[in-house]
Chains A and B, each alone.
Chain A
């Protein structure tokens, strides 16, 4: 459950990302593949050549989904249900990988916001993204 302050922190940070989903998303994926090479197996079309256009396109899609989650913080299950189906039936990303993505997400935020990335923002986003990951893996079995 997210408190009112946590929701405010999440929304505040999202305002800085909104409109730049492709750029942030591409950087997220690049960090994921560089720091945790084993994750590349889940993105065969992307990770082989790491074509900038494809990274931007897929990054945009992923961050748009995060944006949808931000809009529906009160009801992640309903909002993310189609994505939860996708992850359970098609993608089947091992749940252990979500913390790796979350770490890279935090580093993206931290490196862009720098001093403005307060501990309250870090805590709220860690809790929020962990909640998103739980919903995305909930239908696995």
Chain B
């Protein structure tokens, strides 16, 4: 089980509190689909993904991004218990969605980059470390029920 120190939790929750989760979610998913175009394989029915602006403006991308990041909020409320928190979602991603867990790592890294664009200097190495630890732990939790 991953343990987060008080400082790490503070770094994570303070930034999360200042985020527009809806917008950031769309941006994270959008950037994933642009920077790593093979990830589009899971979103064939999302309509126009033909250019970066099409992807970032795509309403289905925004809606799904919001869903994903809202779920990430659950992670932040349950940092000491990620595997249990994401057990059902893990099963879903394995059994129904067939998503390679590598994609969770890619999305986590994109999220960290977006946080850096939003928070600038405030996104210190220590703050980055706390967030990389969190996204990595979430990725592992989401992959935990794969069989």
Chain B residues proximal to chain A, CB less than 8 Å: 30-31, 34-35, 52, 56, 109, 112-114, 116-121, 123, 125-126, 128-129, 132
Contact = CB atoms under 8 A, between A and B. Distances in A.
Contact of A31 (B56, B114, B125): B125
Contact of B126 (A34, A103, A117): A34
Contact of B52 (A35, A36, A120): A120
25 contacts: A35-B125, A35-B128, A36-B132, A103-B109, A106-B109, A106-B116, A107-B128, A110-B113, A110-B114, A111-B116, A111-B119, A111-B121, A112-B120, A113-B117, A114-B118, A114-B120, A117-B113, A119-B34, A119-B35, A120-B52, A122-B34, A122-B35, A123-B34, A123-B35, A123-B52
Given A34-B128, A35-B125, A35-B132, A110 B116 contact: yes
Interface in A102-140: 103-104, 106-107, 110-115, 117, 119-120, 122-123, 126
Contacts, number: 60
A104 B112 CA distance: 10
Nearest to A29: B125
Closest 10 A-B residue pairs measured CB to CB?
A: A110-B116, A34-B125, A111-B116, A123-B35, A35-B129, A31-B125, A110-B117, A107-B116, A110-B113, A119-B34
A28 B145 CA distance: 35
Main secondary structure on B side of the interface with A: helix
Contact of A34 (B113, B114, B120, B129): B129
Contacts of A107: 112-113, 116, 123, 128
A31 B109 CA distance: 14
A76 interface: no
Nearest to B52: A119
Nearest to A27: B125
Nearest to A115: B117
* Most chain B CB within a 10 A radius of its CB, from A27, A31, A107, A123: A107
A122 B125 contact: no
A31 B126 CA distance: 8
Contacts of A103: 109, 112-113, 132
A114 B120 CA distance: 6
A110 B27 CA distance: 14
A86 interface: no
Contacts of B52: 119-120, 123
A123 B39 CA distance: 13
A30 interface: yes
